[in-house]
Structure 1
Amino acid sequence: MKKMFYLLSIIALASTCLITSCTTEPSNTENTDDLTGVVFKNTDNTVYVRLAAEPDRLNPLLSTSGYSRPVWEQLFLPLLDIDPKTLDFVPFLVKARPVIAEITEGPNAGGVTYTYELRGDARWSDGQPVTVADIVFTFKIIFNANIAETAPQRVPYNALVDIQADPNQKQRFTVVTKEKYILGEAAYNSINIFPAHVFDPSGLMKNYALADLIANGEVLAKELPLQQFAEQFVSAPYSRDPAKLIGTGPYRLGQWEEGRYITMSRDHQWWADASKGGHPYLHAYPDSLVFRIIPDQTTAIAAIKDELVDVATEIDAQDFVALRENDFAKAHFNFFTPNILGFFFIAINTKNPRLTDKHVRRALAHLVDVQVVIDRVYGGFATPLPGPVSPSKPYFAKDLPLIAFNIEEAKKLLADAGWADANGDGILDKTIDGQRVAFTLEYLVTPGSKFANTLAELFKDNAAQVGIAVTIVPREFRTMLGEDVANRTFQLYAAGASADPLLDDFKQLWHTSSNTPSGSNRVQFGNAQTDALIDEIRVTLDEDKRNAMYREFQQLLYDEQPMIFLFAPQNRIAISKRFLAEGMELRPGFQVRNFVLRKLQ
């Protein structure tokens, strides 16, 4: 399951007692760095985090911004989550991983059941218990067809039939699906749960059965209660109001000063603190969190040097190298470069009249010297890619060659596609739908990132050599995402896709059913052949057969060139030495609630 983040601004993954009475400190609080003579400006147990863009919302079912995640994941917890060290699922709100069984008879024969048991001590931050009804309610939200924003969330749950409560054990429930799915367990493990009593206080969805919403969602969507709930759920309070954002996480939302900061305070009544014997996986050490919204890279570097932030990720490569060589920064910060589970690209609107021809799109790919970009602009912190699959995956298509930087080949492909400078003005032109059209393109960038703008300038200069006039258009992230990209009015923009360390499900990014204003197939790729292949991959459990289909899909994608695939990046993270903390592969590159304040001399 992939989520989008915007390049290069958003890019845009021991027990405790009640903190008011006693705290069992983790065993590794001793200094491991030589901090002799180092004085820190801040000594409180507050972590100051740099966000490179304003979050859109703090509701995980509605947010499409990767910069919202570090905030909302302190409020809302999933049933299970991926351990950053082992990359295995570990239980949060449930006792263990689900019991999985194949359905061998009845209307859902060939499907799978997943049986979970909730922890009896899990509580919402208002003290109410987490119940199976809350699990069912969360899926009712997803399948309320009036909520367009949750349409991408439905993709992993296409096979869901119902969720059944165990009549003999009130904390046990079974997820029933009608077919196998390669990410079935991962999809249900990872769902963030919402409290029905907070998000539906009037019971607007109470009388609707989940199975009916799944089977007849479009018909039921016409009914007033479902419409009223949808209007309420997408309203600002349920994404911004501290009184509404009630979750199972260890922090509560404080203030959100748009353009400046978001504050969070530790919930001293957090259920996991009081868990008998201590929760084996859930901990939260900082007393408070402050997320400083700093889009501009130069301002962010100044904030690091002035200790206004304790952690910053996706630092521009050249600035990161300079920071590691700066004496003050070296004394006060540790630096990490874990791999990012994802890839960067330049998105191409394949339905734009200038860009419908795959030969034209391949010509554009020949205009980017990816290795030079990596070495000279990105500081060497990346590996070039021919497509969206990580080279670490066993089904990575090793036979696909990288697209070489080749101006002459680009000129040839453009000429073969009918583009020529008929009027001698230095710009290619062509008759499209009876009108002579100059080959001009708009390339959208977020203004805060040096790398994004440098990449755009390089592309513009190379495009000029073949007769394409590129205009670089600065666009604030939320505007670009909510207008240009959602409405499919863009031509080019720089972006990336991040992922969990799981099998690839191509449906969300590449299936034509995801080509909607709220969907993630933003380049408008696909046809009946690619859709059928994606659908088959999703239900094929035989590894050899599935891997062969993965490679076939990568070849089709490579041939169509809906994006200029750039590279798999490494993150560039700075974390203050006043905390014991590490960078990690999982997005966003750190888990702030695990930061441990050092006992400084």
Structure 2
Amino acid sequence: MQTSKKWLSGLGLVALGLVLASCGQNKSTSSTTNKTLTVTASQAIATADPNKADDIASQAAIAQFMEGLYTTNQKGKIVPAIATKIVKPTNGGKTYTFNLRHNAKWSNGQAVTAADFVYSLQRQVNPKTKSQEVGHVAEIKNATAITSGKKAVSSLGAKAIGKYKLQITLKQKVPYFNYRLATEIYPLKQSFTEKYGNKYGTTATKTLSNGPYVLKDWDGTSDTWRYAKNTHYYAAKSVKIKNVKVQTVKTNTTAQNLFESNAVQVTQITGTQVASAQQGKLNKNLTITKLNQLYFMPWNQKRTLTKNADLRRAVSYALNRQSLVKNVLKDGSVAATSLVPTGNTKNPTTGKDFNTDTGNLYTYSPAKAKKYWRRAQASLGKKKITLQLLTNDNDVNKSVAEFIQAAIEKNLSGVTVNVKSVPLTNEISTLSKGNFDFATLSWSSDFQDPIDFLNKASVTNSVDFGKFKNTQYESLIAKITAGTQSKTARYQTMQQAAKLVAEKQGVTPLYQTAAAHLISSKVGGVHFTLLRDALYRYAYWK
């Protein structure tokens, strides 16, 4: 689950609670002015290079010490950052012209300029950089051709037309491009970056910041690191906590114990811990937030058994998703009703949620499961089959796999499911080679638009492991991405796509993930949103 989104391990989101505060927050007292906020993460940073980060932990960390043209506020709304205002694109929605604030500085005191954004964008699409996140900038004019080596890096649709004036031209209108600007696109200082070359972002000392904090005490493999207030940040006065220490904790029990002893003030819990917290003394510290993430099952369309649509339909109907989230996950996750997470998008005409309009496309029906299994048996000419379910080897994914295995074997007599659990990197490698029947995966998106989930069943998707191909579906995806439809027409096309992929079971969604965090009552302004994890610039001590 990566590229402008990320593949997720079992614990899902890094436990960095999205720390947000209102404009009227309490002022820090002298006793807390230099007090360190300590939080946990479920995995360590892999890289501090924004052009290369493709995992949740790294991207969540980068959001602390880097800032783009836009950012998000306390409620997750996009607001200006380095740019002075939210820009209305011209040229049919393809050209964005930004005026940059003159007081934005790097942590070394140098000015943040339009050239810094141009350099970063060009570096990201340059094939020599070998970025796994070119999807973040793929909509920019000539980006794809440059990445494939067909055009020069200088032809990218990004140029400085003054020290503090930047112009970005897209290949077509992109309705969600503001999200890219707020959560995925950052500047880089060329002189500093080229000083370290491929080593840039591999340690704290080889990283330059332009955001509210500076990365400290990270040697590239550290399980702990620190965010220190950036004194050169243009809004430094609004940053109330000077130091944030992050501690990697891989077990939920340890994380909760640290929280209860006040060794950490923000941490994440999952599963039975959430249910226990809801019923116990920690309930007042618990907050649960639905995320822009979805667990789903890709099916290998190259294999005879899993290519059978009736078999896929039988499996989907055999799964009681409500039972899965309530009795297995127990962390606030929500049963999937479409391939799009709830809260991702609203009907532009009525304001209704996308999933309210689709209705529940993935109901539980043992009777229908048996009906489609009989059809599959007839077309396959087999009464009994064995399937292998490939999954990530963390506790959450193992539990989900066991649930799927039991549900299928209970409702589909003659189907045997063998579970193969491997580390996430091995799972992705196995999927890439097409050596699987079906699997469980999770996709996390950095922007709110159904296309980033709908394309998981499209050949246009760069991580199309299952190779599902349906001419009608591809036609709908092409319309959605063409940038030529009105908002209403595009929404209706996305509704059609969601219903069609459910009918064909191109991929089979399971549940929308949620993050459950424990937050100390001593810390103010801690909130969470669908899209982002943590922004400590808004945190303060009560």
Question: Structure 2 length as normaliser, TM-score?
Answer: 0.82
Structure 1 SS opposite 2:89: strand
AA in 1 matched with 2:496: E
Q: 1:322 to 1:380 in 2, by over 3 A?
A: closer
Deviation, structure 1 residue 322:
0.8
Match of 1:181 in 2: 174
Q: 1:306 to 1:413 in 2, by over 3 A?
A: farther
Contact kept in structure 2, 1:312 and 1:574, CA below 8 Å: yes
- Runs of 5+ in structure 1 lacking a partner? 14-24, 32-41, 103-109, 203-231, 422-427, 430-438
Identity of paired residues, percent? 17
Match of 2:231 in 1: 269
| CA distances 1:525-557 after superposition (whole Å, capped 9, x unpaired) | 345543342232130341221122111211221
Deviation, structure 1 residue 479:
4.1
Please give the residue correspondences for 1:495-514 in structure 2 after superposition, counting only pairs within 5 Å. 495-500=441-446, 502-506=448-452, 509-514=456-461
Deviation, structure 1 residue 356:
2.2
Structure 2 SS opposite 1:498: strand
AA in 1 matched with 2:474: D
Contact kept in structure 1, 2:270 and 2:331, CA below 8 Å: no
Match of 2:338 in 1: 387
Match of 1:194 in 2: 188
Match of 2:159 in 1: 164
Contact kept in structure 2, 1:445 and 1:452, CA below 8 Å: yes
Match of 1:306 in 2: 261
Match of 1:8 in 2: 10
- Runs of 5+ in structure 2 lacking a partner? 144-155, 348-353
Contact kept in structure 1, 2:298 and 2:507, CA below 8 Å: yes
Equivalent of residue 83 in structure 2, options 94, 97, 100:
94
AA in 1 matched with 2:164: Q
Deviation, structure 1 residue 307:
3.2
Match of 2:271 in 1: 317
Contact kept in structure 1, 2:524 and 2:540, CA below 8 Å: yes
| CA distances 1:40-62 after superposition (whole Å, capped 9, x unpaired) | xx997222222223443232332
Please give the residue correspondences for 1:376-455 in structure 2 after superposition, counting only pairs within 5 Å. 376-379=327-330, 381-392=332-343, 393-394=346-347, 395-396=354-355, 397-399=357-359, 401-406=361-366, 407-409=369-371, 411-418=373-380, 420-421=382-383, 428-429=384-385, 439-447=386-394, 449=395, 451-455=396-400
Does structure 1 residue 531 correspond to structure 2 residue 474?
yes
Root-mean-square deviation (CA, aligned residues, Å) is 3.2
Match of 2:149 in 1: none
Match of 1:284 in 2: 239
AA in 2 matched with 1:253: L
Structure 2 SS opposite 1:74: helix
Deviation, structure 1 residue 177:
3.1
Deviation, structure 1 residue 352:
4.5
Task: Please identify which structure carries the higher helix content.
Answer: 2
Match of 1:217 in 2: none
Contact kept in structure 2, 1:341 and 1:585, CA below 8 Å: no
Give me the whole-angstrom Cα distance separating, in 1, the residues matched to 2:300 and 2:141.
Answer: 27
Equivalent of residue 293 in structure 1, options 248, 257, 270:
248
Match of 1:107 in 2: none
Give me the whole-angstrom Cα distance separating, in 2, the residues matched to 1:446 and 1:69.
Answer: 23
The count of aligned residue pairs is 502
Deviation, structure 1 residue 399:
4.7
AA in 1 matched with 2:510: L
AA in 2 matched with 1:338: T
Match of 1:227 in 2: none
Equivalent of residue 509 in structure 2, options 565, 568, 572:
565
Give me the whole-angstrom Cα distance separating, in 1, the residues matched to 2:33 and 2:399.
Answer: 38
Q: 1:242 to 1:258 in 2, by over 3 A?
A: closer
Moved more, 376-385 or 73-82: 376-385
Contact kept in structure 2, 1:346 and 1:494, CA below 8 Å: yes
Give me the whole-angstrom Cα distance separating, in 1, the residues matched to 2:222 and 2:335.
Answer: 36
Match of 1:458 in 2: 403
Match of 2:424 in 1: 477
AA in 2 matched with 1:163: A
Match of 1:248 in 2: 210
Give me the whole-angstrom Cα distance separating, in 1, the residues matched to 2:468 and 2:234.
Answer: 45
Deviation, structure 1 residue 260:
6.4
Q: 1:549 to 1:50 in 2, by over 3 A?
A: same
| CA distances 1:211-241 after superposition (whole Å, capped 9, x unpaired) | xxxxxxxxxxxxxxxxxxxxx44xxx33421
